[in-house]
Structure 1
Amino acid sequence: MLDQIKKAVFIGTGLLLLAGCSGGTTDESAAGSEAVAAERLIVGLDDTFAPMGFRDENNEIVGFDVDLAKAVGERIGAEMVFQPIDWAMKETELDSGNIDMIWNGYAITPERAEKVLLSEPYITDAQAIIVLKDSDIQTKADLEGKLVSTQQSSSSVDKIKADASGIFEKLGGDLVLYPSNNNSFSDLESGRVDAVVVGEVYGRYYMKQSGKDVYRVLEDNFGEDEMAVAFKKGNTELQERVNAALAEMKADGTFDEIYDKWFYSE
């Protein structure tokens, strides 16, 4: 009888040990699942490029692309870690594996498309024409004989000069140039110039920050650049996950909410 009791205790103890081991395995599996959910993806960016990604007064990295990337991270189960990089070395950083993606107003060009894998375009940056709301200027052609301002040595200057409509000659071959687009907007508001040409992303950001409902963006522009997220060549798995998340966000209104936070919408 004693032997039978010993056997029963032994078996019971063994079952408890097995149960304990089983519980540990479950915990480890849960921990493993959490590890997968806590995947960290390194986002390379220029932290001086407002409004896409820049440092605020608290030295925190913020911006439109930052908010967009965080929202995508939530949908794909990844923590987005923002890493400032030398912008001139961005593709090298990606190719070496130091970062997982470039997400910072990265304009699509044929040269870049050869070096990296690109997401679907998620925003377009036009060389926008901005006037006061009550202006009689409705199209690019209406700029003839007007005073047009933009930032000196900017791509806006080149786009205006190269425009097929010949508008630069119709402006008398002259533009009102300033070191900063902020100066151009000040002159527009005061009536010293009739229109401002600026990248639409920055222009709408300035309009949002100003808090003044006095501007209007023409449908006409001086050319467009599409922006995308860049991945290392061959990383189609991450590309597809990001593309799917961005498509969902555009469909359910999340993208528009983030856009409206940063940019002026008419």
Structure 2
Amino acid sequence: MCRFIIACGRFDSVAVLDAVLGMSTGVTALDNIPTRVHPNGWGAVWRTAEGTRAADRDHRSLAESREHAGLDALGTAMLAVHVRHATLPDRIDPRFTHPLERLDDSGPWYFMHNGFLPTVYQSLGLSASAFDSAEYFDYLLPRGEEQLDIDRTLARLRAMPPGGTSGNAVLLYPRQGYVVHWTAPRSAYQDYFTLRRLRLPEDQIIASEPIPALAGGHRWETLPSATVIELPFTPQHERSFHRAA
């Protein structure tokens, strides 16, 4: 189980990082949720001044290592940060720290996931699961593709074998990004897996939970499940797609 945030536009990087730190330590956690603290590593992706992507990861908690990350001084139009609570104890290792990365001819894809999907490997024809988030990455975005097919993504979310919790994810590529919001209909703790969005005149933020320090709770929009948001990193061009689960 994890938490993530993605900010696009003219935002305060320090405030966004403070928000993630609060999510990782349980300061902003909702009531009656399964996991309050997310200490098993963190990772970030941001857009550079040249329009490319850069990333960093640390297997330590954000509370332990934020001062060494150098992210507070970032001047960027896009920042995504993921903090992790490993569902399985044998998955606490730098190899499992998000973002996951895939190199393609025209640039890298980065992937962040919040949830546990122990059956998605079956849809890839594998005999067993090695790391559910990596398998979910391959399931949503087959290797070699340069954009997320929205209709196919929504269909694949509906077709996943039962047994998982959430498929909330961020996928980032040099030219655009996507936020996938999906929770298994019968999954417990639906509120824990509900993404919220804050829209301001010059920026927008999507987060795993509302962050009071960024804006009052009434200003955070609850995203419907089975939603894919395409982010070309210019908020006025954002497109959103939704189908009934």
Is the shorter-chain TM-score for this pair beyond 0.5, marking a shared fold?
no
Which is strand-richer, 1 or 2?
Answer: 2
TM-score, normalisation: structure 2: 0.29
Larger Rg: 1
Which is helix-richer, 1 or 2?
Answer: 1
**Could you say which structure has the greater relative contact order, defined with CA pairs below 8 angstroms and 6 or more residues apart?**
1
